[in-house]
Structure 1
Protein backbone atom coordinates (compact mmCIF):
# COMPACT_ATOMS: atom_id res chain seq x y z
CA UNK A 1 0.00 0.00 0.00
CA UNK A 2 1.16 3.51 -0.78
CA UNK A 3 0.95 6.32 1.76
CA UNK A 4 1.29 10.08 1.33
CA UNK A 5 3.12 11.25 4.44
CA UNK A 6 2.90 14.96 5.11
CA UNK A 7 5.63 16.01 7.51
CA UNK A 8 5.51 19.42 9.16
CA UNK A 9 8.80 20.30 10.78
CA UNK A 10 8.35 21.19 14.46
CA UNK A 11 12.04 21.96 14.76
CA UNK A 12 13.99 24.03 12.28
CA UNK A 13 14.71 22.20 9.01
CA UNK A 14 18.41 22.26 9.92
CA UNK A 15 17.66 20.06 12.96
CA UNK A 16 15.67 17.60 10.82
CA UNK A 17 18.38 17.34 8.16
CA UNK A 18 21.14 17.07 10.77
CA UNK A 19 19.43 13.97 12.19
CA UNK A 20 18.89 12.59 8.70
CA UNK A 21 22.58 13.08 7.88
CA UNK A 22 23.62 11.43 11.15
CA UNK A 23 21.17 8.49 11.25
CA UNK A 24 19.62 8.17 7.79
CA UNK A 25 15.90 7.56 7.29
CA UNK A 26 15.75 5.03 10.13
CA UNK A 27 13.24 2.87 8.22
CA UNK A 28 12.21 -0.47 9.70
CA UNK A 29 12.55 -3.50 7.40
CA UNK A 30 9.47 -3.71 5.17
CA UNK A 31 8.92 0.05 4.85
CA UNK A 32 10.15 1.61 1.61
CA UNK A 33 10.79 5.26 0.79
CA UNK A 34 9.54 6.06 -2.74
CA UNK A 35 10.06 9.81 -3.25
CA UNK A 36 9.64 13.18 -1.55
CA UNK A 37 9.21 16.89 -2.16
CA UNK A 38 9.94 19.76 0.22
CA UNK A 39 8.04 23.06 0.29
CA UNK A 40 9.92 26.12 -0.87
CA UNK A 41 10.07 27.50 2.68
CA UNK A 42 11.51 24.16 3.93
CA UNK A 43 8.82 23.62 6.57
CA UNK A 44 6.84 20.75 5.01
CA UNK A 45 7.94 17.52 3.34
CA UNK A 46 5.57 15.40 1.22
CA UNK A 47 6.69 11.78 1.00
CA UNK A 48 5.41 8.66 -0.67
CA UNK A 49 6.10 5.56 1.39
CA UNK A 50 5.19 1.94 0.63
CA UNK A 51 4.53 -0.95 3.00
CA UNK A 52 2.16 -3.91 3.29
CA UNK A 53 1.92 -3.24 7.06
CA UNK A 54 0.76 0.15 8.37
CA UNK A 55 2.31 -0.66 11.78
CA UNK A 56 5.77 -0.28 10.20
CA UNK A 57 4.91 3.27 9.20
CA UNK A 58 3.83 4.03 12.77
CA UNK A 59 7.09 2.52 14.07
CA UNK A 60 9.08 4.80 11.76
CA UNK A 61 7.07 7.86 12.82
CA UNK A 62 8.01 7.30 16.47
CA UNK A 63 11.66 7.75 15.46
CA UNK A 64 10.97 11.28 14.20
CA UNK A 65 7.91 12.63 16.02
CA UNK A 66 9.94 14.70 18.50
CA UNK A 67 10.96 17.07 15.68
CA UNK A 68 8.33 16.42 12.97
CA UNK A 69 4.51 16.14 13.07
CA UNK A 70 2.88 13.69 10.67
CA UNK A 71 -0.30 13.32 8.65
CA UNK A 72 -0.64 9.98 6.85
CA UNK A 73 -3.03 9.40 3.96
CA UNK A 74 -3.40 6.01 2.23
CA UNK A 75 -3.30 6.63 -1.53
CA UNK A 76 -3.64 4.83 -4.86
CA UNK A 77 -1.91 5.75 -8.09
CA UNK A 78 -4.38 7.67 -10.25
CA UNK A 79 -4.72 4.88 -12.85
CA UNK A 80 -5.65 2.41 -10.10
CA UNK A 81 -8.11 4.88 -8.57
CA UNK A 82 -9.79 5.37 -11.94
CA UNK A 83 -10.21 1.61 -12.35
CA UNK A 84 -11.70 1.36 -8.86
CA UNK A 85 -14.11 4.21 -9.50
CA UNK A 86 -15.22 2.75 -12.82
CA UNK A 87 -15.49 -0.73 -11.32
CA UNK A 88 -13.01 -2.09 -13.83
CA UNK A 89 -10.70 -3.83 -11.40
CA UNK A 90 -10.47 -4.83 -7.78
CA UNK A 91 -7.40 -3.43 -6.07
CA UNK A 92 -6.54 -5.63 -3.12
CA UNK A 93 -5.40 -4.14 0.15
CA UNK A 94 -2.74 -6.23 1.87
CA UNK A 95 -3.45 -7.35 5.45
CA UNK A 96 -2.44 -4.91 8.15
CA UNK A 97 -3.09 -1.75 6.11
Structure 2
Protein backbone atom coordinates (compact mmCIF):
# COMPACT_ATOMS: atom_id res chain seq x y z
CA UNK A 1 0.00 0.00 0.00
CA UNK A 2 1.46 3.38 -1.01
CA UNK A 3 1.33 6.32 1.40
CA UNK A 4 0.38 9.88 0.42
CA UNK A 5 0.31 13.27 2.07
CA UNK A 6 -2.81 15.27 1.27
CA UNK A 7 -2.68 18.98 1.98
CA UNK A 8 -6.07 20.63 2.32
CA UNK A 9 -6.16 24.41 2.01
CA UNK A 10 -9.58 25.52 3.21
CA UNK A 11 -11.20 28.17 1.06
CA UNK A 12 -11.71 31.50 2.86
CA UNK A 13 -14.55 31.36 5.37
CA UNK A 14 -15.48 27.72 4.62
CA UNK A 15 -13.57 25.72 7.24
CA UNK A 16 -16.53 25.69 9.66
CA UNK A 17 -18.98 24.67 6.90
CA UNK A 18 -16.59 21.90 5.84
CA UNK A 19 -16.64 20.47 9.36
CA UNK A 20 -20.45 20.60 9.49
CA UNK A 21 -20.57 18.35 6.43
CA UNK A 22 -17.80 16.15 7.83
CA UNK A 23 -19.67 15.73 11.13
CA UNK A 24 -22.86 14.82 9.27
CA UNK A 25 -21.40 12.50 6.59
CA UNK A 26 -17.88 11.51 7.67
CA UNK A 27 -14.89 11.53 5.32
CA UNK A 28 -16.82 9.91 2.46
CA UNK A 29 -13.79 7.93 1.31
CA UNK A 30 -14.22 5.60 -1.66
CA UNK A 31 -13.41 1.92 -1.09
CA UNK A 32 -9.66 1.41 -1.33
CA UNK A 33 -8.68 4.83 0.05
CA UNK A 34 -7.61 4.82 3.70
CA UNK A 35 -7.16 7.62 6.22
CA UNK A 36 -4.25 7.16 8.67
CA UNK A 37 -3.84 10.43 10.58
CA UNK A 38 -4.22 14.20 10.27
CA UNK A 39 -2.98 17.49 11.69
CA UNK A 40 -4.85 20.81 11.45
CA UNK A 41 -3.50 24.34 11.71
CA UNK A 42 -6.58 26.53 12.29
CA UNK A 43 -4.54 29.75 12.13
CA UNK A 44 -3.55 28.95 8.54
CA UNK A 45 -6.79 27.09 7.58
CA UNK A 46 -4.79 24.07 6.47
CA UNK A 47 -4.95 20.34 7.17
CA UNK A 48 -2.33 17.66 6.51
CA UNK A 49 -3.63 14.12 6.07
CA UNK A 50 -1.56 10.96 5.87
CA UNK A 51 -3.41 8.45 3.73
CA UNK A 52 -2.77 5.29 1.74
CA UNK A 53 -4.07 3.53 -1.34
CA UNK A 54 -2.98 1.33 -4.21
CA UNK A 55 -5.00 3.51 -6.61
CA UNK A 56 -4.10 7.19 -6.88
CA UNK A 57 -7.22 7.90 -8.95
CA UNK A 58 -9.35 7.34 -5.83
CA UNK A 59 -8.00 10.59 -4.37
CA UNK A 60 -9.45 12.59 -7.24
CA UNK A 61 -12.81 10.88 -6.80
CA UNK A 62 -12.71 11.86 -3.11
CA UNK A 63 -11.51 15.43 -3.83
CA UNK A 64 -14.61 16.07 -5.95
CA UNK A 65 -16.81 15.55 -2.87
CA UNK A 66 -15.02 18.32 -0.98
CA UNK A 67 -13.81 20.74 -3.66
CA UNK A 68 -16.42 23.36 -2.74
CA UNK A 69 -14.64 23.81 0.60
CA UNK A 70 -11.02 22.85 -0.04
CA UNK A 71 -8.18 23.15 -2.55
CA UNK A 72 -6.15 19.94 -2.47
CA UNK A 73 -2.52 19.04 -3.02
CA UNK A 74 -1.47 15.38 -3.30
CA UNK A 75 2.06 14.13 -2.68
CA UNK A 76 3.12 10.47 -3.00
CA UNK A 77 5.58 9.48 -0.26
CA UNK A 78 8.56 7.22 -0.75
**Structure 2 portions without partners, runs of 5+:** none
**Structure 1 portions without partners, runs of 5+:** 77-97
Which structure's CA Rg is the greater one?
A: 1
Map residues 12-27 of structure 1 onto 2, 5 A cutoff.
12-27=14-29
1:47-93, Cα deviation, whole Å (9 max, x unpaired)? 011000001111101110111000100012xxxxxxxxxxxxxxxxx
The residue aligned with 2:4 is 3
Q: More deviation in 42-51 or 27-36?
A: 42-51
Higher relative contact order (CA 8 A, sep 6+): 2
**TM-score of the pair, normalised by structure 2:** 0.91
Instruction: Report the alpha carbon displacement of residue 12 of structure 1 after superposing the two structures with TM.
Output: 2.5
**TM-score of the pair, normalised by structure 1:** 0.74
**Over 4 Å off, 4+ runs:** none
> Whole-Å Cα distance in 1 between the matches of residues 72 and 41 of structure 2?
15
The residue aligned with 2:66 is 64
